[in-house]
Structure 1
Amino acid sequence: MPAKPRPTQLALPVEHFHEPRRPDCPWCGATRLRPRKRDTFPIDECVDCGHAFQNPRLTPEGREYHRRAAAAPPGAPTFRHLRAVARAILPFPEPESWLDVGTGTARFPVAAKRVFPYTSFDGLDPTRRVERAWAAERVEEAYIGHLTAPDIAARLRGRYDVVSMLHHLEHTPDPRAELHAGLAALRPGGHLLLELTNPQSVFASLLGRWWHPHTQPTHLHLIPPANLLVELEYEGCTIVTLDRHTPHTPTDLARATTHALSRALPAPATAPFTATATLLDRALAPVLRHTAFSNAYWVIARKG
């Protein structure tokens, strides 16, 4: 009996999983691109605006393949981190209704409920995991699909005080359209809460192809903070928070060590190296989160 394909193997030739390579930036349209990473999942960077994107990018079938191949979401945030994200909304009026986009099994609504016990949390996800979250009473309403789908957009328009997207925009084919759909779901004066990978982190250039966001085939976009702020302000939003430091997750060295050594050594042999790198990540985190090494950022924008 032939062996089953390993998760990192493709069941079809790689060209069946990629769209044609695009010659321009999907964010600003400029044609001056430079390679940021070159391998099976190449990443280009726009010289003009700094937007980085998978090029050529995976087809929907390719993205689904790699989503299913992953045994678990890599580097899932801790409950403590998710609660800290929710606490970022505390300076503003207590929300009555909150939509978490890309919620999965609704881990974030569960954590946020500890901070806002009287808020009604709904979840949206393209997979049926959100149905299981609803059955477990983690969210009050569950929506399967994409926020940009006309039927979902019409149902959710103007319903929420807060819409959260935590490491969601990076995985969407059109992050600008997703952003606009999130704003449409807000009531006037509501807040859009975003957490994204920081492509300008020093770790990105220091670790190169082994930096974790560079190794994930479902990361289609890496959006610099300045690009996001300009877009939100253009849409009439007020930027009330830009935090480049608190969201830092101390996993860069450990993940890079795992990725780099896994190709040469069996998993048991890499464990001591990964454990050492993990300790180093945690020891350096209090300092690095306040520097250009920080690997993530938060934006909170108020809809006009």
Structure 2
Amino acid sequence: MIEDDVPADPVASRRPAYLNDLAGGVDRFFEPRRTGCPWCGSDALRGRLRTTDLLLHKPGRFVLDECRDCGHVFQNPRLNPAGLEFYYRDCYDGLGEKNMTGMFESNRAGYRSRAELVRDIGASGEWLDVGMGHGHFCKEAAAVLPGVKFDGLDLGDGVDLARREGWIRTGYRGLFVDLADELAGRYDVVSMYHYLEHTAEPQRELAAAMAVLRPGGLLAIELPDPECRWAKVLGRWWMPWLQPQHLNLMPIGNLRAELVSRGFTVVAEQRAEPHSAIDVLAAAIMAVNALTIAGEDLPWRAAPPARWRRILRKATFIACVPLFVLASVADRISAPFGRRRGWSNAYRVVARRDVA
């Protein structure tokens, strides 16, 4: 989009569409509540978390249930396609694109760490990054793996952005499970970094990866770890819950067993290295943001906030800077020992597709 096309007030221009979407309430955005675990089928469920949208503050309440038998955590009731479109809108693209780009760009060390793990196992050839976002991983990974050709797949405008920047060779826009037949047997590596938790049926995504990979190819996955102790300490303020976007969160044992059952051999696991030391800081920022959100102009509200609310919001954030500094210090102090004692907020698994 060229600069002249940007509306003078992008929030106001989006307000009519959002208010129209909300005229009938948010119940229409959800599927019926499940009585069984979507991973193992058990009906031994318990409530794990009740929360709201702490990222964009769109209306709605969300529930995560946990399976007592396998430990799988999932959104219940789950968003339907209309709900996913509504809650993703203006998060990664549109109004949220600038913030998300800054967040993506800040994770260069994490991107390189992912690529180094797969490089050390012998990655080569053609690589498809599923759920590529804006393509920043492919950009950084190319420096680690200069002989690898990177393609990307996602639903949003980031696919086109990455292609224009030259960070990927080919970009696909659409659902991975829908494109799997077209891409069958084409890739030596498929990566799913913080992707499976966003999908409605992660087991179908793994089947798609099996189809797309050549025999002997590698599947690299990184996920939030629902067994992380920070999740219990911080409750709804643990950022990786990320409601309403995260639909499924799998313990590493579940993922490992599923991969083996589908014809993969797990060749590497990391429980500590993927940890991002931001749990306390992110919780503090989300809490202050929630406390002052009435001062933010949001298109899903009927009118902009009063000027005094905007001023109060800015003043509160300024006053809370020492709190944010202390939270960041707590993250850094806890990270070295926490990664070895079950406090890591993410894990990685690399699996090889069996040849026969």
Return the letter of the residue paired with 1:221.
N
- Residue in structure 1 matched with residue 229 of structure 2 by the alignment: 202
Q: Any conservation in 1 of the 2:181–2:211 contact (CA below 8 Å)?
A: no
User: Aligned partners of 1:199 and 1:94: how far apart in 2?
Assistant: 28
1:39-58 equivalent positions in 2, closer than 5 A = 39=51, 40-58=61-79
Stretch moving more, 12-21 or 102-111: 12-21
User: Aligned partners of 1:33 and 1:270: how far apart in 2?
Assistant: 39
- Residue in structure 1 matched with residue 44 of structure 2 by the alignment: 32
- Residue in structure 2 matched with residue 252 of structure 1 by the alignment: 279
Shift of 1:216: 2.7
User: Aligned partners of 2:154 and 2:34: how far apart in 1?
Assistant: 28
- Residue in structure 2 matched with residue 97 of structure 1 by the alignment: 126
1:63-74 equivalent positions in 2, closer than 5 A = 63-70=84-91, 71=96, 72-73=99-100
Tell me which of the two structures has the higher relative contact order, counting C-alpha pairs closer than 8 angstroms and 6 or more residues apart: 2
- Residue in structure 1 matched with residue 54 of structure 2 by the alignment: none
Shift of 1:114: 0.6
- Residue in structure 2 matched with residue 298 of structure 1 by the alignment: 348
User: Aligned partners of 1:263 and 1:146: how far apart in 2?
Assistant: 32
Correspondence 1:180 to 2:189? no
Greater share of helix = 2
SS at match of 1:255: helix
Q: Any conservation in 2 of the 1:53–1:220 contact (CA below 8 Å)?
A: yes
Correspondence for 1:60 among 81, 84, 87: 81
- Residue in structure 1 matched with residue 321 of structure 2 by the alignment: 271
SS at match of 1:90: helix
Shift of 1:274: 2.1
Return the letter of the residue paired with 1:102.
G
Query: Which stretches in structure 2 are left out of the alignment for 5+ residues?
Result: 1-10, 52-60, 293-312
- Residue in structure 1 matched with residue 158 of structure 2 by the alignment: 129
SS at match of 1:103: coil
User: Aligned partners of 1:48 and 1:75: how far apart in 2?
Assistant: 36
- Residue in structure 2 matched with residue 11 of structure 1 by the alignment: 22
TM-score, normalized by length of structure 2? 0.79
Correspondence for 2:336 among 274, 286, 291: 286
> In 2 relative to 1, CA 253–92 (structure 1 residues): closer, same or farther, beyond 3 Å?
same
Q: Deviations over 1:190-233 (max 9, x none)?
A: 11000000000001111111111224310101110000011101
Correspondence 1:85 to 2:85? no
Shift of 1:146: 1.1
Query: Which stretches in structure 1 are left out of the alignment for 5+ residues?
Result: none
> In 2 relative to 1, CA 68–268 (structure 1 residues): closer, same or farther, beyond 3 Å?
farther
Q: Deviations over 1:275-297 (max 9, x none)?
A: 32112212321221222011100
Stretch moving more, 258-267 or 103-112: 258-267
SS at match of 2:200: coil
User: Aligned partners of 2:42 and 2:156: how far apart in 1?
Assistant: 34
- Residue in structure 1 matched with residue 220 of structure 2 by the alignment: 193
Q: Deviations over 1:51-93 (max 9, x none)?
A: 0001111222222222224324495461111011000012233
Return the letter of the residue paired with 1:147.
F
Q: If you compute each CA radius of gyration, which structure gives the higher value, 1 or 2?
A: 2
- Residue in structure 1 matched with residue 289 of structure 2 by the alignment: 262
Q: Any conservation in 2 of the 1:18–1:59 contact (CA below 8 Å)?
A: yes
> In 2 relative to 1, CA 216–272 (structure 1 residues): closer, same or farther, beyond 3 Å?
farther
Shift of 1:256: 1.1
TM-score, normalized by length of structure 1? 0.92
Return the letter of the residue paired with 2:263.
G
Aligned residues: percent identity? 42
Q: Any conservation in 1 of the 2:129–2:153 contact (CA below 8 Å)?
A: yes
User: Aligned partners of 1:57 and 1:182: how far apart in 2?
Assistant: 23
Q: Any conservation in 2 of the 1:262–1:270 contact (CA below 8 Å)?
A: no
User: Aligned partners of 2:45 and 2:123: how far apart in 1?
Assistant: 44
SS at match of 2:177: coil
SS at match of 1:50: coil
Q: Any conservation in 2 of the 1:195–1:298 contact (CA below 8 Å)?
A: yes
Q: Deviations over 1:231-273 (max 9, x none)?
A: 1011121111111110001111011112223233433343332
Return the letter of the residue paired with 2:331.
D
